[in-house]
Amino acid sequence: MAGPGVFIAFEGGEGAGKSTQVARLETWLAGRGVRVRTTREPGATGLGGTLRSIVLDPATTGLSARAEALLYAADRAQHVHEVVRPALVDGQVVVTDRYVDSSLAYQGAGRAFDLAEIRALSRWATEGLLPDLTVLLDLPPELGLARARGRATADRLEAESVQFHERVRGTFQALAAAEPDRYLVLDATGAPDALAAAVADRVAALPGVLS
Protein backbone atom coordinates (compact mmCIF):
# COMPACT_ATOMS: atom_id res chain seq x y z
CA MET A 1 0.00 0.00 0.00
CA ALA A 2 1.30 3.46 -0.87
CA GLY A 3 -0.26 5.27 2.09
CA PRO A 4 -3.27 5.06 4.44
CA GLY A 5 -5.64 4.29 1.56
CA VAL A 6 -6.85 0.94 0.21
CA PHE A 7 -6.33 -0.23 -3.37
CA ILE A 8 -8.85 -2.54 -5.08
CA ALA A 9 -8.65 -3.80 -8.67
CA PHE A 10 -11.29 -5.49 -10.79
CA GLU A 11 -10.05 -7.91 -13.44
CA GLY A 12 -11.60 -10.25 -15.97
CA GLY A 13 -12.12 -10.90 -19.63
CA GLU A 14 -14.27 -9.03 -22.11
CA GLY A 15 -17.90 -8.60 -21.08
CA ALA A 16 -17.33 -9.82 -17.51
CA GLY A 17 -19.14 -6.84 -15.98
CA LYS A 18 -16.20 -5.05 -14.37
CA SER A 19 -17.50 -1.55 -15.04
CA THR A 20 -20.88 -2.43 -13.56
CA GLN A 21 -19.34 -3.83 -10.40
CA VAL A 22 -16.91 -0.93 -10.03
CA ALA A 23 -19.88 1.45 -10.11
CA ARG A 24 -21.83 -0.69 -7.65
CA LEU A 25 -18.92 -0.78 -5.23
CA GLU A 26 -18.44 2.98 -5.53
CA THR A 27 -22.09 3.54 -4.59
CA TRP A 28 -21.85 1.10 -1.67
CA LEU A 29 -18.71 2.72 -0.27
CA ALA A 30 -19.93 6.29 -0.73
CA GLY A 31 -23.15 5.37 1.04
CA ARG A 32 -21.08 4.46 4.09
CA GLY A 33 -19.17 7.70 4.10
CA VAL A 34 -16.02 6.27 2.53
CA ARG A 35 -14.02 8.54 0.25
CA VAL A 36 -13.64 6.53 -2.93
CA ARG A 37 -11.89 7.18 -6.24
CA THR A 38 -12.83 5.02 -9.21
CA THR A 39 -10.55 4.81 -12.22
CA ARG A 40 -9.66 2.56 -15.13
CA GLU A 41 -6.93 1.32 -17.44
CA PRO A 42 -6.13 2.32 -20.04
CA GLY A 43 -7.21 5.93 -20.32
CA ALA A 44 -7.59 7.46 -16.85
CA THR A 45 -5.26 10.38 -17.56
CA GLY A 46 -4.79 12.83 -20.41
CA LEU A 47 -1.84 10.84 -21.70
CA GLY A 48 -3.71 7.61 -21.03
CA GLY A 49 -6.61 8.73 -23.18
CA THR A 50 -4.28 9.19 -26.11
CA LEU A 51 -2.67 5.79 -25.51
CA ARG A 52 -6.10 4.14 -25.16
CA SER A 53 -7.10 5.47 -28.57
CA ILE A 54 -4.02 3.81 -30.04
CA VAL A 55 -4.11 0.39 -28.38
CA LEU A 56 -7.87 -0.24 -28.63
CA ASP A 57 -8.82 1.44 -31.89
CA PRO A 58 -9.59 -1.20 -34.54
CA ALA A 59 -8.11 1.21 -37.08
CA THR A 60 -4.67 0.86 -35.46
CA THR A 61 -2.70 -1.48 -37.70
CA GLY A 62 0.88 -2.65 -37.70
CA LEU A 63 1.34 -2.23 -33.93
CA SER A 64 3.86 -4.82 -32.77
CA ALA A 65 3.13 -6.89 -29.68
CA ARG A 66 6.15 -5.41 -27.91
CA ALA A 67 5.06 -1.87 -28.72
CA GLU A 68 1.59 -2.70 -27.42
CA ALA A 69 3.02 -3.95 -24.12
CA LEU A 70 5.12 -0.81 -23.74
CA LEU A 71 2.15 1.46 -24.44
CA TYR A 72 0.10 -0.26 -21.74
CA ALA A 73 3.04 0.07 -19.34
CA ALA A 74 3.32 3.78 -20.15
CA ASP A 75 -0.39 4.24 -19.47
CA ARG A 76 -0.03 2.42 -16.16
CA ALA A 77 3.02 4.40 -15.07
CA GLN A 78 1.16 7.68 -15.63
CA HIS A 79 -1.99 6.29 -14.02
CA VAL A 80 -0.18 5.35 -10.83
CA HIS A 81 1.78 8.61 -10.75
CA GLU A 82 -1.14 10.92 -11.45
CA VAL A 83 -4.19 9.14 -10.02
CA VAL A 84 -3.65 6.04 -7.91
CA ARG A 85 -0.75 6.87 -5.62
CA PRO A 86 -1.90 10.43 -4.76
CA ALA A 87 -5.38 9.14 -3.87
CA LEU A 88 -3.93 6.39 -1.67
CA VAL A 89 -1.65 8.85 0.11
CA ASP A 90 -4.75 11.00 0.67
CA GLY A 91 -6.41 8.06 2.43
CA GLN A 92 -8.98 7.23 -0.23
CA VAL A 93 -10.19 3.83 -1.37
CA VAL A 94 -9.07 3.51 -4.98
CA VAL A 95 -11.06 1.14 -7.20
CA THR A 96 -9.65 0.49 -10.67
CA ASP A 97 -11.16 -1.28 -13.65
CA ARG A 98 -8.05 -3.26 -14.76
CA TYR A 99 -4.48 -3.11 -13.55
CA VAL A 100 -1.28 -5.20 -13.79
CA ASP A 101 -3.03 -8.57 -14.14
CA SER A 102 -4.57 -7.43 -17.42
CA SER A 103 -1.12 -6.94 -18.94
CA LEU A 104 -0.01 -10.33 -17.66
CA ALA A 105 -3.09 -11.94 -19.19
CA TYR A 106 -3.43 -10.01 -22.46
CA GLN A 107 0.11 -8.96 -23.37
CA GLY A 108 1.70 -11.93 -21.59
CA ALA A 109 -0.40 -15.01 -22.28
CA GLY A 110 -2.51 -13.50 -25.06
CA ARG A 111 0.52 -12.33 -27.07
CA ALA A 112 2.61 -15.33 -25.94
CA PHE A 113 5.30 -13.33 -24.12
CA ASP A 114 7.21 -14.55 -21.09
CA LEU A 115 5.07 -13.56 -18.10
CA ALA A 116 8.20 -12.77 -16.10
CA GLU A 117 9.14 -10.09 -18.65
CA ILE A 118 5.69 -8.48 -18.56
CA ARG A 119 5.65 -8.68 -14.75
CA ALA A 120 9.04 -6.96 -14.54
CA LEU A 121 7.88 -4.22 -16.93
CA SER A 122 4.72 -3.64 -14.91
CA ARG A 123 6.64 -3.66 -11.62
CA TRP A 124 8.97 -0.99 -12.96
CA ALA A 125 6.08 1.11 -14.29
CA THR A 126 4.19 1.01 -10.97
CA GLU A 127 7.20 1.05 -8.62
CA GLY A 128 5.91 -2.24 -7.27
CA LEU A 129 2.44 -1.05 -6.27
CA LEU A 130 -0.03 -3.95 -6.00
CA PRO A 131 -3.71 -3.97 -5.01
CA ASP A 132 -4.77 -4.94 -1.52
CA LEU A 133 -7.57 -6.92 -3.15
CA THR A 134 -8.16 -8.05 -6.72
CA VAL A 135 -11.67 -9.10 -7.69
CA LEU A 136 -11.62 -11.49 -10.63
CA LEU A 137 -14.90 -11.76 -12.52
CA ASP A 138 -14.53 -15.07 -14.29
CA LEU A 139 -16.51 -15.75 -17.43
CA PRO A 140 -16.20 -18.16 -20.39
CA PRO A 141 -14.78 -16.18 -23.33
CA GLU A 142 -17.59 -17.11 -25.72
CA LEU A 143 -20.17 -15.60 -23.40
CA GLY A 144 -18.10 -12.55 -22.55
CA LEU A 145 -17.30 -11.78 -26.18
CA ALA A 146 -20.97 -12.12 -27.14
CA ARG A 147 -21.84 -9.60 -24.42
CA ALA A 148 -19.07 -7.19 -25.44
CA ARG A 149 -19.72 -7.38 -29.17
CA GLY A 150 -23.45 -7.01 -28.63
CA ARG A 151 -23.09 -3.50 -27.21
CA ALA A 152 -20.51 -1.90 -29.52
CA THR A 153 -18.09 -2.42 -32.38
CA ALA A 154 -15.32 -4.77 -31.24
CA ASP A 155 -12.08 -3.05 -30.24
CA ARG A 156 -8.63 -4.44 -31.12
CA LEU A 157 -8.58 -6.90 -28.22
CA GLU A 158 -12.22 -7.94 -28.41
CA ALA A 159 -11.60 -8.79 -32.07
CA GLU A 160 -8.95 -11.37 -31.17
CA SER A 161 -9.70 -15.09 -31.50
CA VAL A 162 -11.47 -17.19 -28.89
CA GLN A 163 -8.16 -19.05 -28.40
CA PHE A 164 -6.48 -15.75 -27.48
CA HIS A 165 -9.20 -15.06 -24.90
CA GLU A 166 -8.98 -18.61 -23.54
CA ARG A 167 -5.29 -17.96 -22.79
CA VAL A 168 -6.25 -14.67 -21.14
CA ARG A 169 -8.82 -16.38 -18.93
CA GLY A 170 -6.43 -19.16 -17.97
CA THR A 171 -3.81 -16.66 -16.86
CA PHE A 172 -6.28 -14.69 -14.75
CA GLN A 173 -7.30 -17.93 -13.06
CA ALA A 174 -3.68 -18.98 -12.46
CA LEU A 175 -2.78 -15.61 -10.94
CA ALA A 176 -5.69 -15.83 -8.53
CA ALA A 177 -4.87 -19.42 -7.59
CA ALA A 178 -1.28 -18.44 -6.79
CA GLU A 179 -2.33 -15.78 -4.24
CA PRO A 180 -5.78 -16.76 -2.94
CA ASP A 181 -5.63 -14.42 0.06
CA ARG A 182 -5.34 -11.38 -2.20
CA TYR A 183 -8.07 -12.38 -4.65
CA LEU A 184 -11.81 -12.77 -4.71
CA VAL A 185 -12.87 -14.95 -7.65
CA LEU A 186 -16.52 -14.74 -8.65
CA ASP A 187 -18.54 -16.51 -11.33
CA ALA A 188 -19.52 -13.59 -13.56
CA THR A 189 -22.54 -15.48 -14.93
CA GLY A 190 -24.22 -14.72 -11.60
CA ALA A 191 -26.76 -11.98 -11.01
CA PRO A 192 -25.21 -8.49 -10.67
CA ASP A 193 -26.87 -7.99 -7.27
CA ALA A 194 -25.38 -11.20 -5.92
CA LEU A 195 -21.95 -10.33 -7.28
CA ALA A 196 -22.11 -6.85 -5.77
CA ALA A 197 -23.08 -8.29 -2.38
CA ALA A 198 -20.16 -10.73 -2.44
CA VAL A 199 -17.76 -7.92 -3.34
CA ALA A 200 -19.11 -5.70 -0.57
CA ASP A 201 -18.71 -8.47 2.01
CA ARG A 202 -15.07 -8.99 1.07
CA VAL A 203 -14.27 -5.28 0.87
CA ALA A 204 -15.88 -4.63 4.26
CA ALA A 205 -13.38 -7.04 5.79
CA LEU A 206 -10.34 -5.17 4.45
CA PRO A 207 -8.50 -3.22 7.15
CA GLY A 208 -8.96 0.51 6.78
CA VAL A 209 -12.04 0.51 4.59
CA LEU A 210 -14.88 0.98 7.09
CA SER A 211 -12.84 1.58 10.24
pLDDT of residue 112 exceeding 50, the answer is yes
pLDDT of residue 78 exceeding 50, the answer is yes
Band of pLDDT at residue 3, cut at 50, 70 and 90: low
Of 7-11, 86-90, 148-152, least confident by mean pLDDT is 148-152
The 3-class SS string of 160-211 reads CCHHHHHHHHHHHHHHHHHCHHHEEEEECCCCHHHHHHHHHHHHHCCCCCCC
Q: Which residues are annotated as a binding site for ATP?
A: 12-19
Other CB atoms within a 10 A radius of the CB of residue 53 amount to: 13
Strand partners, 93: 6, 36
Taking the C-alpha atoms of residue 173 and residue 45, their distance in angstroms, rounded to an integer, is 29
What average pLDDT does range 163-191 have in this prediction?
A: 97
Q: Domain map of the chain by residue range?
A: 6-204
What average pLDDT does range 45-69 have in this prediction?
A: 94
Identify the CATH assignment for 6-204 out of 3.40.50.2000, 3.30.390.50, 1.10.150.110, 3.40.50.300. Answer: 3.40.50.300
Specify the higher pLDDT residue, 153 or 189.
189
Q: Which residues are annotated as a binding site?
A: 12-19
Closest CA to 66 of 16, 125, 113: 113
